[in-house]
């Protein structure tokens, strides 16, 4: 019997969503076609857009632009808005937090080759944006700043960012804000209008929807330069044949994930805290990454296990029947330390000695208890492998 602790990478499709998705896949009709089948498909597409807009607090359905996933949504927001606002080369600056998902950091680094002046805004030891540094960076040259991008919740260590405060600082000097909310959707309340952001990236497969479907929720006041060119099906800023089945399934998944969210989040947070307490009791030198309590996602547990190589732990847990992660699935297999832990002030050995346990709707107390029973022995075996032998300096108080 296996237990799945990698919901942050992808979460099992909800049976109701699968039923809606399968049903839609059996229908025919391109939503851009003028015949009856095409127009029926268009109606289902727009109903899905309305449903998703209502669930995530968009002011109008037209603010929802469907994409192929969170990565495309991030690229469209960051590249598209930077290009649009820097068309006359008067706004080359781009503010980005140091713990963003690679879909944002890699995009920002690529934009540097196009003339962008990227300002990397630091975070504290828990991964929370340094608001003073952010405000200073904004005030330094607001007229030349195109965009700020700060994620709502970190995908590795689960830190929640103070998005309303970030928006207030940016808007006070006329800078729009994009937030990658892929990990936040379905875990914490998410209201596009209430947050005040100008653009927000979402993904379906993190909340029990299909892989290959996402959305960029973007204010009608903004028109990013397209990343994909073609038929301009989505507000002329995103081209491609409209994926009706994906949109229908995404809207249904979001509705189900966000229904009774406070109660669901409380249950998940209780399991999270049970796992944290159990790890700290059974592996006393393990160190929790990120904040405790309300400052982190209810489904995120991330630990440093001194003396253990993260991959050795992962493989040991996998053999024992537990699916976990060393960090972002998008960088799995890449032999480099977590940039998130490095940004939080950890050294490279520490940033490799980690394990993420992400809980979801299928996680049970029995799963948590089984993991806690198996973990100490797996940690001991990973340490015996001797892949990371030294104790990081930061844990000895040397830095």
Q: Are 5 and 322 in contact (CB under 8 A)?
A: yes
Tokens of 370: 């089984």
Active site annotation includes 258: no
For residues 69 and 3, what is the distance between their CA atoms, to the nearest angstrom? 26
Q: Are 396 and 46 in contact (CB under 8 A)?
A: no
In order, the DSSP letters of 381-394 are: HHHHTTSS-SPPGG
Chain mean position to CA 208? 14
User: Running DSSP on this structure, what letter comes out for residue 19?
Assistant: H
Dihedral in degrees, nearest 10, Cα atoms 269, 271, 275, 281 = 100
Residue 53 burial (C-beta neighbours within 10 Å; 0-12, 13-18, 19+): buried
The one catalytic residue in 258, 308, 330, 344 is: 330
Q: Are 164 and 130 in contact (CB under 8 A)?
A: no
User: Running DSSP on this structure, what letter comes out for residue 330?
Assistant: G
Q: Quick count: other Cβ atoms within 10 Å of Cβ 28?
A: 10
Q: Which of 214, 196, 197 is nearest to 205 (CA)?
A: 214
For residues 369 and 80, what is the distance between their CA atoms, to the nearest angstrom? 46
Residue numbers annotated as active site: 330
């Amino acid at each position: 019997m296996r237990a799945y602790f990698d919901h942050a990478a992808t979460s099992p499709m909800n049976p109701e969503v699968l039923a809606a998705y399968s049903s839609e896949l059996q229908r025919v009709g391109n939503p851009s076609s003028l015949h009856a089948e095409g127009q029926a498909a268009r109606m289902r597409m727009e109903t899905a857009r309305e449903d998703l807009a209502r669930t995530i607090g968009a002011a109008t359905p037209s603010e929802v632009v469907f994409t192929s996933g969170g990565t495309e949504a991030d690229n469209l927001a960051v590249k598209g808005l930077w290009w649009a606002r820097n068309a006359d080369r008067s706004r080359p600056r781009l503010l980005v937090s140091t713990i963003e998902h690679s879909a944002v950091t890699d995009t920002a680094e690529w934009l540097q080759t196009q003339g962008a002046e990227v300002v990397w805004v630091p975070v504290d030891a828990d991964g929370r944006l340094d608001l003073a540094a952010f405000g200073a960076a904004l005030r330094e040259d607001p007229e030349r700043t195109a965009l700020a991008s700060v994620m709502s919740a970190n995908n590795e260590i689960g830190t929640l960012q103070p998005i309303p405060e970030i928006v207030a600082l940016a808007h006070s000097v006329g800078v729009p804000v994009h937030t990658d909310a892929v990990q936040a959707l379905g875990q914490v309340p998410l209201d596009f209008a209430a947050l005040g952001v100008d653009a927000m990236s979402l993904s379906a497969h993190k909340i029990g929807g299909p892989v290959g479907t996402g959305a960029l929720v973007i204010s009608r006041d903004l028109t990013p330069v397209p990343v994909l060119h073609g038929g301009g099906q989505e507000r002329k800023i995103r081209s491609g044949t409209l994926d009706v089945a994906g949109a229908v399934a995404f809207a249904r998944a979001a509705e189900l994930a966000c229904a009774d969210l406070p109660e669901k989040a409380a249950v998940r947070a209780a399991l999270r805290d049970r796992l944290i307490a159990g790890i700290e009791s059974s592996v006393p030198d393990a160190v929790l990454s990120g904040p405790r309590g309300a400052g982190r996602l209810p489904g995120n547990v991330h630990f440093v296990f001194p003396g253990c190589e993260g991959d050795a732990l992962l493989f040991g847990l996998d053999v024992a029947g537990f699916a976990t992660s060393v960090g972002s699935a998008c960088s799995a297999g890449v032999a480099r330390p977590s940039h998130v832990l490095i940004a939080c002030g950890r050294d490279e050995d520490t940033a490799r000695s980690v394990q993420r346990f992400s809980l979801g709707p299928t996680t049970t107390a029995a799963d948590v208890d089984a993991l806690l029973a198996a973990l100490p022995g797996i940690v001991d075996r990973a340490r015996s492998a001797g892949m990371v032998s030294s104790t990081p300096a930061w844990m000895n108080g040397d830095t």
